[in-house]
Structure 1
Amino acid sequence: MQHMRILHICPTARLDAPLAPESLQYLGHQIDRCAAEDLPSRRAESAAVDVVIADACLDLSLAPRISDLLAEARITAPAIVVLGEGGLATASAKWNVSDLILTTAGPAEVEARLRVARDRHTASSSAHSGSGFPGGLHAGPGRLGAKGDAGGWGPVRTGRGPVGTSRGGGPGSSGRLGDTGEEMWNADGEPMVVVTGDLRIDETAFTAELGGRSLDLTYREFALLKFFAMHPERVFTRDDILLAVWGDDYFGGTRTVDVHVRRLRAKLGKDLENAIHTVRNVGYRFSADSVTDTDSEDVTA
Structure 2
Amino acid sequence: MGVADLVLLSTHLPAADAVPSVLPGLALLPHVVTVHGMDVGVLLTDGHQAREPDLVLVDLVTDLMVGHGTLRSLAALELGCPVLAVLGETALGLVDAGWPADDVCATGAGPTEVGARVRLLLGRDRRGRGPVPAQGGGHAEPEAIRVADVVVDEASWSVRAGGQPLDLTFKEFELLRYLVQRPGRVVTRDLLLQEVWGLDYYGGTRTVDVHIRRLRAKLGPERESLISTIRGVGYRFSGPRGDHR
TM over 0.5, shorter chain: yes
Residue from 191, 198, 206 that aligns with 1:255: 206
Do the aligned partners of 2:183 and 2:236 also contact (CA within 8 Å) in 1? yes
Deviation at 1:265, TM superposition (A): 0.9
2: CA distance, partners of 1:279 / 1:268: 19
1: CA distance, partners of 2:64 / 2:160: 22
SS in 2 for 1:271: coil
Deviation at 1:252, TM superposition (A): 2.7
Alignment of 1:157-196 (within 5 A): 192-196=143-147
Do the aligned partners of 1:133 and 1:204 also contact (CA within 8 Å) in 2? no
2:34 corresponds in structure 1 to 30
Q: Which has the higher contact order (CA 8 A, sep 6+)?
A: 2
TM-score after normalising by structure 2: 0.59
Q: Deviations over 1:29-68 (max 9, x none)?
A: 2258xxxxxxxxxxxx2334920478xxxxxxxxxxx4x9
1:71 corresponds in structure 2 to 65
Deviation at 1:27, TM superposition (A): 1.4
Residue from 39, 44, 53 that aligns with 1:47: 39
Do the aligned partners of 2:4 and 2:31 also contact (CA within 8 Å) in 1? no
Do the aligned partners of 1:23 and 1:107 also contact (CA within 8 Å) in 2? no
Alignment of 1:1-301 (within 5 A): 3-6=5-8, 19-21=24-26, 23-24=28-29, 26-31=30-35, 45-48=37-40, 50-52=56-58, 66=61, 69-71=63-65, 74-76=69-71, 78-80=84-86, 94=93, 96=95, 98-99=104-105, 103-105=110-112, 109=116, 111-113=118-120, 115=122, 123-125=130-132, 127-131=133-137, 133=139, 192-289=143-240
Deviation at 1:197, TM superposition (A): 1.8
2: CA distance, partners of 1:275 / 1:29: 48
Flag structure 2 segments of 5+ consecutive residues without an equivalent: 43-55, 72-82, 96-102
Do the aligned partners of 2:64 and 2:170 also contact (CA within 8 Å) in 1? no
Deviation at 1:229, TM superposition (A): 1.9
2: CA distance, partners of 1:4 / 1:110: 13
2: CA distance, partners of 1:196 / 1:106: 44
1: CA distance, partners of 2:113 / 2:182: 49
2: CA distance, partners of 1:116 / 1:221: 39
The 3 A distance-change label for structure 1 pair 7 and 252 is: farther
2: CA distance, partners of 1:107 / 1:276: 43
2: CA distance, partners of 1:104 / 1:198: 48
When the two chains are superposed, the root-mean-square deviation of aligned CA atoms in Å is 4.3
Deviation at 1:20, TM superposition (A): 1.9
Deviation at 1:268, TM superposition (A): 0.7
Do the aligned partners of 1:23 and 1:105 also contact (CA within 8 Å) in 2? no
The 3 A distance-change label for structure 1 pair 254 and 72 is: farther
TM-score after normalising by structure 1: 0.50
Deviation at 1:7, TM superposition (A): 5.5
Equivalent pairs counted in the alignment come to 196
Q: Deviations over 1:120-145 (max 9, x none)?
A: 9x9544x32433857xxxxxxxxxxx
1: CA distance, partners of 2:104 / 2:236: 36
Deviation at 1:194, TM superposition (A): 2.0
SS in 1 for 2:207: helix
